[in-house]
Structure 1
Amino acid sequence: MNNQMIGKLTELAGKFANNKYISAIRDAFANTIPITITAAFFLLINNVLLDPKTGLLKAMPGREFIANIGTQAYNGTLGMLGLLVTFMIGAKLAKEFHFDEIIAGIISIACFVALIPNHLLTTTVTGKSVTIAASLTQTETSASSMILGILAALIGTRLLIKLSTVKHLQIKMPESVPPAVAGAFNSLFPALLTITAFATFEETVLQLTHLSVPSVIVKILQTPLVGGFQTLPGILFYVFISTAVFIFGIHGAFVFGAISGPILLTSLQQNIDAIKLGHTAPNIVTQPFLDAYVYMGGGGTMICLVIALIIFSRRSDERMISKIGGVPSLFNISEPMMFGLPIVFNPMYAIPFILTPMVGTVIAYVSTQLGLVRPTYILIPWVTPPVLSGYLATSGDIRASIMQLIIIVVGVFIYAPFVIASNRAAKMSD
């Protein structure tokens, strides 16, 4: 690939990563890391240690009390993730346009809720059927409705900002009024029109199609996107493109995370909901699936290259880098290897760097599909070391750890010929 094509690819990826809308989504998800890790902590405790059937501490006194604490913590973290992300995307996008972040975040949630049907839940109370109006369940507040929240935040915030520039809609307050109050009044009519537009859209769709907006979003967008990631060709294409750009110094997870994150979290939430009901998890590919099986050691399944260098390389520089970068790689941090070896713009390692995670994806996907390992349904911190991550992500399935070891061994053998070739090339150039 010539320098001109590489330059164009780098420029295109840079524009994509710096797009205001993509940046807003990416930064919003970055800000949710504390709550997703908190949720992961309690999910691990409840499903690995305290599960009444398979938990390691299922007979412990007070198990139910502690498990209930974990459930409440889940309700306040992953159970609310859709709402929290909606607020953050609105706020981040407003910041990009130099608009009031808090107002934009609040209006984003208002637009999101305005798209949810008024009558959600019908239940039986004392023998009578009762419809509960204006209720929000975890189906609406969790990652299950995240795509709807993203659309509401992006469109609602942009509409709010646009209307706020119309002078006839602005309310000028005296200079003596505090700026926060003046800003709120200045956004009054734009907010009114924005929320009204979303509420009108919801009712119009309901009357014309007899379907709620969330149902339409699921049918048109969410199901195809989630389904696309659940096919082997679909996830292989994503792994290929997100890994290949690393060769040109482009952080694939950073660039494409804004697209894959909501889809993979939705898949994870569907698995969690199914397991809670005692059903089989419907999805193979989730965020923990990629973290546990594909990104062991970081991009390119870097842990395999570290081991291959230690075993097969006789170059002092490569062995030194592998020892230095090996420790971060145990926690899935690949940058020291990526730029120290380097992998970036290094044709010698480009092929195995792309091929290894794709082979790992095939092994993990087929094994899960055949029922050889449990599907992943526990959210794990992305820094969880390989082998342990598979065990935790599948709620204590030791077969997942064994499969990780198999993927690592296969990956080492994929990298090995290229490590040997690198040694020979260095010897010939001396």
Structure 2
Amino acid sequence: MNRLVAWLENYVLPLANRLAQVRWLVALRDAFITVMPITIAGSLAVLIKSLIEAAKVNLGWKTFAFVMQPLVLISNVVWRGTFSLFALFFALTLGYQLAKNLEVSPLGGAVVSLASFTMSIASFVNLKVRGVNLTIHNAFDISQLSTTGTFTAIIFGSLGVVIYAFCLHERFMLHFSTTLPRAEQEAFDSLVPGIIAIFAVGLINFIFQSATGTYFGNWLLKTIQIPLVNMGQGFGMVLLVTLLVQIFWFFGINGISVLAPILDSIWLPAQNVNVTAARDGNVPPFLWVRGSFDVFAWFGGAGGTLMLIVAILLFSKRSDYRTIAKVALAPGIFNINEPIVLGLPVVLNPVYFIPFVLAPLVNVAFSYWVSIMGLVNPVQVAVPSIMPPLIGPFLACNYDWRAIVLSLIDMLIALAIWTPFVFAADKIADADKTPQFFTTQY
């Protein structure tokens, strides 16, 4: 065990530290976090509509459904203003966060990122109407404004901001009197860099469209985004990311945050497709999405540490462990695990390395195959990460009671994995309390 921990510390920990310091990855993570209100608001609209529809179809509450129709219409308006424009909002937040990390004007970066993104999903669209091929010029593909355009926003939004920041750092700007108000001075400083960045991205898109006959967003969707999202449905890929999250966390590095660019880039678009399908009354196409990790494996936080708290309260005889567990119980119910992970600690504690890694892997594997067999609805609603276990899966799976059963089984499995190591920790503590003998000479 000590050799394994030493190997991970020598080879994996430096990689995690380097990833955590890459400014583009940090900006990407923060951008996804910033746009979370848009995701949650759109998902709440889906929940409201689904609840009213379920009451009408399953319970026969037709009068209730009729009375609640205004709320359904309001939810549709919320949807159109939030989730259906996800990539648009994401391009703004990514530009802001990346510009801030590159130490240039965040608002200027947000504008450049948005312009760079929209240029990549526009110009002309080829349509086939009644067997006739038509080309519509100066058009936007509005489907790319939703989660479909996320990868395009990442690539061209980042490219535009990087060019913009480079020009600012190289002082490619108009110089005016320093007596100008700060807002005007920043606007004039950003003028030339912004123009250079936007025209550079425009030139790239023009060349690409002239060479391929299609706009970049459409090409990216078909050749990279869809295959990458489909790859994320593979069992091995799901387990690998789960393993890396746990290993990073074991060394005190928030694995979910470090790997957020991967988690959100691959599994969040799949989740958003499921949310859209549920809203339209269609069958969600993806079985494993971003929220699946949270509701079926990371209850109490990464590692399923809520079950560690329960195991300590049930079986541990150590007063210090029980005190920490009591303090950590309330945060753990809301999936906040820092009190137990850092307070016990679990971090860098060889006794708890195996269950900390193994419990989420087993839970993910079990839940994945249950989902494959169609025994539970896939996650199709985005719920806040602080939603307590059992309630979170029920809502995330669109009011599927089977999600509660699966989540409960996962928690019992994690409890069974954690419990022997809680007993082991008690025995190790008892062994350390060796008696000391004193001799007195007269």
User: Do the two structures share a fold, i.e. TM-score over 0.5?
Assistant: yes
**1:202 corresponds to which letter in structure 2?**
N
Q: Give the structure 2 partner of residue 113 of structure 1.
A: 118
2:193 to 185, 190, 194: 190
Q: Matched residues in 1 for 2:278 and 2:144: separation?
A: 18
Q: Matched residues in 1 for 2:156 and 2:17: separation?
A: 26
- CA, structure 1 residues 309+89, in 2 after alignment: closer, same or farther (shift >3 Å)? same
Q: Give the structure 2 partner of residue 93 of structure 1.
A: 98
Q: Give the structure 2 partner of residue 219 of structure 1.
A: 222
Q: Matched residues in 1 for 2:344 and 2:147: separation?
A: 38
- CA, structure 1 residues 130+66, in 2 after alignment: closer, same or farther (shift >3 Å)? farther
- Asked if structure 2 preserves the Cα contact closer than 8 Å seen for 1:121 and 1:133, the reply is no
- Asked if structure 2 preserves the Cα contact closer than 8 Å seen for 1:380 and 1:389, the reply is yes
Q: Matched residues in 1 for 2:61 and 2:18: separation?
A: 50
How far the C-alpha of 1:46 sits from its partner, in A, is 1.9
2:295 to 280, 292, 312: 292
Deviations 1:341-382 (A, max 9, x none): 211111111101111111111111111111100111101011
Q: Matched residues in 2 for 1:335 and 1:256: separation?
A: 18
2:149 to 103, 127, 145: 145
For residue 239 of structure 1, give the secondary structure of its aligned residue in structure 2.
helix
How far the C-alpha of 1:321 sits from its partner, in A, is 2.0
- Asked if structure 2 preserves the Cα contact closer than 8 Å seen for 1:104 and 1:160, the reply is yes
Match status 1:273 vs 2:276: yes
Match status 1:70 vs 2:84: no
Match status 1:382 vs 2:385: yes
Q: Matched residues in 1 for 2:367 and 2:328: separation?
A: 25
2:326 to 323, 327, 336: 323
Larger displacement relative to structure 2 (214-223 or 332-341): 214-223
- Asked if structure 2 preserves the Cα contact closer than 8 Å seen for 1:48 and 1:54, the reply is no
Q: Matched residues in 1 for 2:59 and 2:178: separation?
A: 63
How far the C-alpha of 1:11 sits from its partner, in A, is 4.1
For residue 118 of structure 1, give the secondary structure of its aligned residue in structure 2.
strand
- Asked if structure 2 preserves the Cα contact closer than 8 Å seen for 1:122 and 1:132, the reply is no
- Asked if structure 2 preserves the Cα contact closer than 8 Å seen for 1:39 and 1:73, the reply is yes
- Asked if structure 2 preserves the Cα contact closer than 8 Å seen for 1:49 and 1:55, the reply is no
Q: Matched residues in 1 for 2:61 and 2:386: separation?
A: 25
Q: Give the structure 2 partner of residue 80 of structure 1.
A: 85
TM normalised by structure 1 equals: 0.91
- Asked if structure 1 preserves the Cα contact closer than 8 Å seen for 2:121 and 2:140, the reply is no
Q: Matched residues in 2 for 1:32 and 1:146: separation?
A: 12
Q: Matched residues in 1 for 2:180 and 2:252: separation?
A: 50
**1:91 corresponds to which letter in structure 2?**
Y
**1:144 corresponds to which letter in structure 2?**
T
Match status 1:231 vs 2:219: no
Q: Matched residues in 2 for 1:247 and 1:133: separation?
A: 52
Q: Give the structure 2 partner of residue 424 of structure 1.
A: 427
Q: Matched residues in 2 for 1:38 and 1:56: separation?
A: 27
For residue 232 of structure 2, give the secondary structure of its aligned residue in structure 1.
helix
For residue 290 of structure 1, give the secondary structure of its aligned residue in structure 2.
helix
Q: Give the structure 2 partner of residue 361 of structure 1.
A: 364
Match status 1:398 vs 2:401: yes
Q: Matched residues in 2 for 1:201 and 1:102: separation?
A: 23
TM normalised by structure 2 equals: 0.89
- Asked if structure 2 preserves the Cα contact closer than 8 Å seen for 1:107 and 1:195, the reply is yes
Q: Give the structure 1 partner of residue 165 of structure 2.
A: 161
How far the C-alpha of 1:62 sits from its partner, in A, is 2.6
Q: Give the structure 1 partner of residue 436 of structure 2.
A: none
The answer for unaligned runs of 5 or more in structure 1 is none
**2:147 corresponds to which letter in structure 1?**
A
Larger radius of gyration: 2
- Asked if structure 2 preserves the Cα contact closer than 8 Å seen for 1:50 and 1:56, the reply is no
How far the C-alpha of 1:152 sits from its partner, in A, is 1.7
Q: Give the structure 1 partner of residue 44 of structure 2.
A: 41
How far the C-alpha of 1:233 sits from its partner, in A, is 0.6
Match status 1:244 vs 2:247: yes
- CA, structure 1 residues 55+301, in 2 after alignment: closer, same or farther (shift >3 Å)? farther
- CA, structure 1 residues 11+65, in 2 after alignment: closer, same or farther (shift >3 Å)? same
Q: Provide the aligned C-alpha RMSD in A.
A: 2.6
